[in-house]
Structures are given as C-alpha cells and as structure tokens.
Amino acid sequence: MGGGARSLRALPKAHLHLHFTGSMRHDTLLELAERDGISLPDSLVEDWPPRLSAADEKGWFRFQRLYDVARSVLRTEGDVRRLVLEAAEDDVADGGRWLEIQVDPSGYAARFGGITAFTDLVLDAVDAASRATGLGMAVVVAANRTRHPLDARALARLAAQYAGRGVVGFGLSNDERRGRTSEFAGAFRIAERAGLLLTPHGGELLGPDHVRECLDLLQARRLGHGVRSVEDPAVLARVVDSGVALEVCPVSNVALGVYSDLSSVPLPQLLAAGATVALGADDPLLFGSRLAGQYATMRAAHDLTDDQLAELARMSFRASCAPAELVRTGLADIDTWLSRPERMQA
C-alpha cells in the first residue's frame, strides 16, 4: 500500500486542460435553462452525468450534442462572467493556483457580436474572476478541427493579437478522427510567430501516429491528452525527450471510453517513462469530476503515493504558462504540503 492520506484539495496545482463551456457548474446549467425555458435532455438532468462513449463517431456526436445544449444556455454577458467566476472558484476550492481556460470563440460569435467581441468579453471576465478569487488565469484560444482550416487561421490571428494580453496558447479541439491535421499547420505557424504555446488535442481518440503528426506538422509543445503516446515506445521516448507535456484527463478518458476504467488509464507507465504530465478535468459539466477529482481518482486507481502526487502537481506548474513567481510559490507550497505529517491536514 503506497497511497497517502494528505488532502488533495490542499495540494497546490495548475490546471492546464479545462474547456470554457465544459467548465460550467451543473447547477448553473439547470438554473439558466430554467430561466430561459430551455428543455434539457434527461442525461443533463436526472441522469447526470451522462453516460457517454466516443468509441465511434455516433458516440462523439452525442457528446457534441450535449455540448451544444450547454452552449445554448449562455445568453448574456452576465452568464459568461458567471461561468468564468464559478470555474475559478471551483479551481480555488480544489487547490488550483493557476488556470489556463480553453475557449473556442467561434461557437459563441453569433450571439455575442463576433469572435473578437466574445474574446474581449471572456478576457475581461477572466481578469475579473482572477481578481475576485486570487487564482492566476489565462486563456488558450482553440480552433475546431471539424471546421474549415481558414477558420482556424482566423482564430490564430485573433489569438496572436491578444498574445501577452491574457491569451497564452493556441489549441485545436474536437474529434481527432475528423479533419486533416496537416491542414491546420498554417494556423499553428501564425500562433507560433506570436509566441503562443502550441497545444493541440492529440493522442486521445487516435493513437501515437497522431501524436507524431501533432509534433511534426504542428510543432506542438504540449498535447491535449496525448495519453496514447504510451502505445508506441518510440513516440513516448520522443515526447519525453522533447519535454512535451501531456494534459492527461483521466475521468474524461473513461467517460468517453478511451479506457474502460480508471485503473486502465496508463498514468504509471507515463510517469515511469519520465513524461511530463499535468492532470486536467477537460469538461466537468459532462464528466462530473473537477480538478482535485483527477488526482483523487488516480491516487485510488493506481495507489499513488503523496510523493508521486506532489510530483504531478509540480509538473502541472512547470508545464504551465504561469508567471515565474507564481510557479516558484506553487512549488514551495507543494514542498510544504509534503513536509507536513498526514494527520495535521484536514
């Protein structure tokens, strides 16, 4: 038995994989839907969290449909501000010190006056939430690989305009099996020239060959998921040697059927190989588990020691775009967490 007993909510962490829409509190979804008379599917009400599987395109489509429903309840500027504030509060409650929230402005452009106006709103909401909660926050602008690559270029140019002003990274999300990764290289070059972190989704629904494409064609410096790098020793070695961090989201992986259960998420193999891993919640609204839950489920499933959990937390800071001072403080506080006897903690 290696499992420790220190409070995982007290362990300082950086959160690098959280989608804007998917971060919504379930209670907030219900309240906003009620306000506007939007009828929600049972899987978002009494059967929440929904049972999903993305093993085939039909399953992924169902997941996206629920995502569309969640998006539809955000109608006002106040709704956007509330979502961001609550996401920040929930991360703080889970020991979060830094959050990079990922947003695809194109999904909200029609309702909020275009991608630029919506991005302005989100950045303002992030600034306000950060001040209110003390959580360090930044935005990753993500393109959608099921849309045209020209849309991705437009988003990359938008992200580039905000580089150093709240936007730290550029991503690529949605079903990996759709769209050709090579067609998004142009967008990633725009983001790269602006000095943004390049962090596409890869190695989740597709295997290590797609991780290789993300590295070769997009010059990814971090990977959304990337967990299936483990299936090819050469790819895994390359990920490790290049220091590309993996934003591993265990509860999401199981909910979407990437792995059958939490003990099958190959976190121990990734750690043994020396990979940099930052645990993330992905979409708590659809998967029912937030930041500390990722650490707790991995502790339980893999009998991780508190030393291992502390190292996971350290890696989350090191792989982040957080300011150096915030990283230093986070790492020091992780040492403090580890140095206190277990019984001293709540």
Which residues participate in catalysis according to the annotation?
204
CB closer to Zn ion, 122 vs 310:
122
CB closer to Zn ion, 63 vs 162:
63
Q: Tell me the two tokens of residue 38.
A: 């939007």
> What letter would DSSP give residue 214?
H
CB of 94 to Zn ion, least distance (A): 18
Q: Identify the helix (H) or strand (E) that includes residue 99.
A: strand 96-103
CB of 278 to Zn ion, least distance (A): 13
Question: Residue 163: beta bridge partners?
Answer: 167
* Burial of 222 (C-beta count, 10 Å sphere; 0-12/13-18/19+): buried
Question: Residue 224: beta bridge partners?
Answer: 201, 247
Question: Residue 96: beta bridge partners?
Answer: 13
CB of 143 to Zn ion, least distance (A): 13
CB of 144 to Zn ion, least distance (A): 11
Q: Tell me the two tokens of residue 150.
A: 């020209």
The residues binding Zn ion (CB under 5 A) are 224, 282
Q: How far apart are CA 189 and CA 170, in angstroms?
A: 10
Whether the CB-CB separation of 172 and 184 falls below 8 Å is answered with: yes
CB of 54 to Zn ion, least distance (A): 11
CB closer to Zn ion, 23 vs 308:
23
Question: Helix H segments across the chain?
Answer: 26-36, 57-72, 77-93, 115-133, 149-161, 185-193, 208-218, 233-242, 250-255, 267-273, 284-287, 291-302, 306-318, 324-339
φ/ψ of 99, rounded to 5, equals: -135, 125
CB closer to Zn ion, 96 vs 224:
224
CB of 142 to Zn ion, least distance (A): 8
Residue nearest to Zn ion (CB): 282
Q: How far out from the chain centre does Cα 249 lie?
A: 7
CB closer to Zn ion, 33 vs 244:
244
CB closer to Zn ion, 105 vs 224:
224
